[in-house]
């Protein structure tokens, strides 16, 4: 059953986010997903930002059926008096050419992926695809990027640390919540972190600010540490596929078994030898790791992070779409990337092999 108070809070957050981003999709058509839980709100948010029409593609997943997704959408919009918004959301259970060809913005959301060559060929000449993440996280399996380039369909990313997003700051809270789940207090615990890049640095900054003893061992020889002195290991290797806990990794599982088998391993992202870790009876959480992806995202904390990132992706789509309706492919990319929130490519997207991300 829908929690109306929670929906009222989310609606308030959506209004704030739309205002902060100055998101205005008036006279634009959006093709996005209708997912479960917090992902119900992506299509609602596009409608609240005045999109002329929102095609919301849905399909069954481990989180809910098509009927569940539609029912939740109807429940939320009806309970909040968003009938006019709901009237502009057209739920589609198939990726039909008619709907795709009308869209100005096609989001790179979970249900929409993969955006294959056939789908790209359905798009109109002035369509754009905003990545709901930064370009360095791009995976070639997500989008037929060569076909997009051939068709002149701009694909650009969303910068996650510009105001008002600051997405990586959620990392410390996320790591803490996972450790709370495992029965750790965090306060007065001693925590090892494995990771380089912004996620790991934001986790260590969070631990610093709260006076929690910690050490990032990403580039340190772990065999010189006495693991018995530590309470938890947080794996937060974002964007690097090198082994962290496993043969040849930063820490060997056998070392953990011999020195501190009760230490809690918390996995956010990064490559670990899950089979060996579990075979040795070591404490690894969560139970359902997702190789090549983040096992948990800030969505695990609550809806706000998901709302912010999806709204920012829609904003990138809005910027691109308005330029593309007036300008050519190259000029659209050049003009769009002048906006702080739009993330361009450090190299040609056609040459990228992919990365470990969300």
> pLDDT confidence of 356, banded at 50, 70, 90?
very low
350: pLDDT strictly greater than 70: no
**CATH 3.40.50.720 segments of the chain:** 4-159+302-351, 168-300
Query: Is residue 32 within a helix (H) or strand (E), and if so which, with residue range?
Result: strand 29-33
Sign of CA dihedral 166, 168, 174, 176: negative
Q: Once rounded to an integer, what is the mean pLDDT over residues 288-295?
A: 83
The pLDDT, as a whole number, for residue 137 is 84
List the alpha helices (DSSP H) in the chain.
4-21, 41-48, 66-79, 83-87, 97-102, 117-122, 145-151, 170-181, 198-209, 253-259, 274-279, 303-324, 329-336
The pLDDT, as a whole number, for residue 39 is 93
> Can you name the CATH fold of 4-159+302-351?
Rossmann fold (3.40.50)
Give pLDDT tens digits for 102-148.
999 999 998 999 999 999 999 999 999 999 898 988 988 999 999 99
DSSP character string of 312-350: HHHHHHHHHHHHHTTS-HHHHHHHHTTSTTEE--SS-GG
Closest by CA to 311, choosing from 119, 80, 41, is 41
Give pLDDT tens digits for 53-66.
999 999 999 888 99
Q: Once rounded to an integer, what is the mean pLDDT over residues 270-282?
A: 96
For the chain, give the percent of residues with pLDDT over 70: 96
Average of per-residue pLDDT values in the chain: 92
| 294/40 Cα distance (integer angstroms) | 21
| 192/153 Cα distance (integer angstroms) | 44
Cα-to-chain-centroid distance, residue 158: 11
Residue 115 bridge partners (DSSP): 143
- pTM recorded for the entire structure: 0.85
At 60, is the secondary structure helix, strand, or coil?
Answer: coil
Among 159-168, 193-202, 230-239, the range scoring the smallest mean pLDDT is 159-168
Domain 168-300 annotated CATH 3.40.50.720: yes
């Amino acid at each position: 059953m829908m929690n109306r108070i929670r929906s009222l809070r989310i609606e308030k957050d959506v209004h704030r986010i739309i205002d902060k981003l100055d998101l205005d999709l008036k006279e634009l058509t959006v093709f996005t997903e209708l997912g479960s839980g917090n992902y119900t709100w992506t299509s609602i948010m596009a409608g609240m930002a005045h999109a002329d029409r929102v095609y919301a593609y849905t399909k069954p997943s481990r989180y809910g059926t098509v009927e569940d997704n539609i029912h939740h959408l109807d429940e939320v919009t009806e309970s909040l008096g968003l009938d006019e918004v709901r009237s502009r959301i057209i739920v589609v259970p198939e990726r039909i050419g008619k709907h795709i060809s009308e869209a100005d913005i096609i989001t790179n959301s979970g249900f929409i992926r993969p955006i294959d060559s056939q789908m790209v060929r359905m798009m109109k000449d002035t369509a754009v695809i905003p990545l709901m993440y930064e370009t360095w996280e791009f995976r070639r399996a997500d989008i037929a990027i060569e076909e997009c380039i051939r068709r002149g369909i701009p694909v650009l990313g969303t910068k996650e640390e510009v105001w008002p997003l600051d997405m990586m700051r959620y990392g410390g809270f996320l790591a803490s919540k996972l450790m709370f789940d495992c029965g750790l207090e965090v306060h007065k615990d001693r925590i090892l972190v494995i990771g380089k890049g912004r996620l790991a640095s934001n986790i260590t900054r969070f631990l610093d600010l709260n006076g929690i003893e910690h050490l990032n061992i990403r580039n340190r020889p772990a065999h010189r540490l006495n693991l018995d002195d530590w309470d938890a290991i947080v794996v937060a290797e974002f964007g690097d596929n090198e082994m962290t806990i496993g043969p040849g990794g930063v820490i060997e599982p056998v070392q953990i078994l011999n020195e501190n088998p009760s230490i809690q391993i918390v996995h956010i992202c990064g490559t670990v030898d899950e089979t060996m870790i579990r075979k040795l009876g070591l404490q690894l959480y969560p139970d359902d790791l997702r190789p090549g992806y983040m096992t948990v995202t800030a969505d695990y904390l609550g809806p706000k992070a998901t709302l912010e990132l999806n709204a920012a992706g829609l904003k990138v789509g809005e910027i691109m779409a308005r330029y593309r309706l007036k300008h050519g492919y190259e000029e659209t990319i050049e003009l769009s990337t002048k906006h702080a929130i739009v993330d361009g490519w450090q190299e040609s997207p056609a040459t990228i092999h992919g990365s470990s991300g969300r």
